[in-house]
């Protein structure tokens, strides 16, 4: 079952300033669109699905087909859809589909990291006396904090490890304290060395746009990293990999949309030519082409 991810940026878009029925029709189009952003429907059918009147549906579709000077996307003069054979095509569908896929990848990566951290905490062990027992690492830190010398070991005078108690002397191996992960720092910025690395490893991406999306995702999901520079580099590499996998190279959204429109127009011309031949009384013979009936 297909689904459409609704970004919260729709609240600040110009579409949110339209009438209630126009917004309902727009969200209905988003829900009906296939993986290519196409919606196969007529205006009466769309009005019925959106539960709006026919007049309101016509007004909404006209608005979507018209230029929008306040649109945040400059491509196609801010138009949201275009007519195709049998319905409409959502012009920005591919852009938001890529963003949604990136969000899913980030969520899955965060879940994997959480499982790894939980496994590490479960498997932490402390060596006490002559045996190895599973203890809370906080107990080990409590004993080691009482030592004044870093490498000092207190030997257990009892030969039986079962008799160990907090009052008796213990042999506790100090563990190296690791740096704790934190949420996004308020002063996080891209340094000159990070920008130089980005230009070499992510030549197809825009550093300002990708960094802004990185910050928004981390804030929204409460992501934590031990090394935020390393976390930023990882996400930039994931974005570059995704961009390559789309097979669009360095083409802009406008170029992709223009290519797709040309393809649809060629299909329409071919269908129209075929219908004209049929209306003229011709039949198509696979071995010889179009021939007159009889």
**Mean pLDDT to the nearest integer, 225-248:** 85
pLDDT at 287 over 70: no
Half-sphere exposure of 20 (CA within 13 A, CB side): 3
235 and 258 together in one domain: no
Nearest CA to 92 among 208, 9, 214?
9
| Residue 68 resides in a domain | yes
The 3-class secondary structure across the chain, one letter per residue, is CCCCCCCHHHHHCHHHHCCHHHHHHHHHHHHHCCCCCEEECCHHHHHHHHCCCHHHHHHHHHHHHCCCCCCCCCHHHHCCEEEECCEEEECCHHHHHHHHHHHHHHHHHHHHHHHHHHHHHHCCCEEECCEEECCCHHHHHHHHCCCCCCCCCCCCCCCCHHHCCCCCCCCECCCCCCCCCECCCCCCCCCHHHHHHHHHHCCCCCHHHHHHHHHHHHHHHCCCECCHHHHHHHHHHHHHHHHHHCCCCCCCHHHHHHHHHHHHHHHHHHHHHHHHHHHCCEEEECCCEEEECC
83 and 21 together in one domain: yes
pLDDT of residue 205: 85
| Residue 171 resides in a domain | no
pLDDT at 154 over 50: no
**Last residue within a domain, chosen from 134, 163, 192:** 163
113 and 196 together in one domain: yes
| Residue 170 resides in a domain | no
Q: Which residue has the higher pLDDT, 132 or 67?
A: 67
pLDDT of residue 208: 92
Phi/psi of residue 88, nearest 5 degrees? -140, 160
pLDDT of residue 225: 92
| Residue 76 resides in a domain | yes
Q: Rounded CA gap, 108 and 15, in Å?
A: 31
153 and 114 together in one domain: no
30 and 133 together in one domain: no
Q: Rounded CA gap, 287 and 41, in Å?
A: 37
105 and 199 together in one domain: yes
pLDDT at 123 over 50: yes
Per-residue pLDDT tens digits for 13-72: 888 888 899 999 989 988 898 888 899 999 999 999 999 999 999 999 998 899 988 887
| Residue 276 resides in a domain | yes
Per-residue pLDDT tens digits for 159-198: 444 554 554 445 555 566 677 889 999 899 999 999 999 9
31 and 129 together in one domain: no
Nearest CA to 53 among 62, 65, 61, 44?
44
114 and 193 together in one domain: yes
102 and 135 together in one domain: no
| Residue 69 resides in a domain | yes
- Give the range of the structural domain holding residue 279, as residue numbers without chain letter: 253-292
Q: Can you give the pTM of this predicted structure?
A: 0.34
pLDDT of residue 139: 45
Per-residue pLDDT tens digits for 197-226: 998 988 878 899 999 999 999 999 889 999
212 and 281 together in one domain: no
**Mean pLDDT to the nearest integer, 5-10:** 76
112 and 220 together in one domain: yes
| Residue 175 resides in a domain | no
| Residue 34 resides in a domain | yes
Per-residue pLDDT tens digits for 83-94: 999 999 988 887
24 and 77 together in one domain: yes
């Amino acid at each position: 079952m297909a689904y459409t991810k609704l970004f919260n940026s729709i609240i600040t878009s110009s579409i949110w300033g339209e009438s209630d029925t126009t917004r309902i029709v727009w969200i209905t189009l988003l829900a009906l669109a296939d993986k290519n952003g196409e919606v196969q429907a007529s205006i009466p059918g769309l009005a019925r699905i959106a539960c709006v009147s026919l007049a309101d549906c016509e007004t909404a579709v006209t608005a979507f087909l018209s230029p929008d000077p306040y649109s945040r996307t400059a491509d196609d003069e801010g138009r949201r859809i275009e007519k195709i054979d049998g319905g409409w095509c959502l012009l920005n569908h591919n852009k938001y589909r890529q963003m949604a896929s990136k969000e899913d990848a980030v969520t899955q990566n965060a879940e994997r990291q959480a499982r790894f951290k939980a496994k590490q905490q479960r498997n932490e062990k402390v060596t006490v006396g002559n045996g190895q027992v599973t203890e809370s690492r906080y107990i080990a830190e409590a004993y080691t904090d009482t030592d004044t010398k870093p490498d000092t070991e207190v030997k257990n005078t009892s030969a039986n490890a079962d008799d160990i108690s907090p009052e008796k002397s213990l042999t506790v191996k100090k563990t190296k304290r690791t740096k704790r992960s934190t949420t996004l720092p308020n002063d996080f910025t891209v340094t000159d060395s990070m920008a130089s690395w980005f230009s070499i490893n992510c030549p197809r991406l825009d550093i300002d746009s990708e960094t802004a999306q990185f910050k928004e995702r981390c804030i929204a999901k409460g992501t934590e990293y031990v090394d935020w520079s390393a976390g930023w580099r990882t996400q930039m590499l994931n974005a570059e990999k995704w961009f390559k996998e789309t097979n669009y190279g360095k083409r802009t959204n406008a170029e992709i949309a223009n290519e797709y429109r040309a393809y649809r127009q060629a299909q329409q011309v071919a269908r129209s030519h075929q219908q004209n031949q049929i209306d003229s009384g011709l039949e198509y013979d696979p071995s010889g082409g179009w021939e007159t009936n009889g």
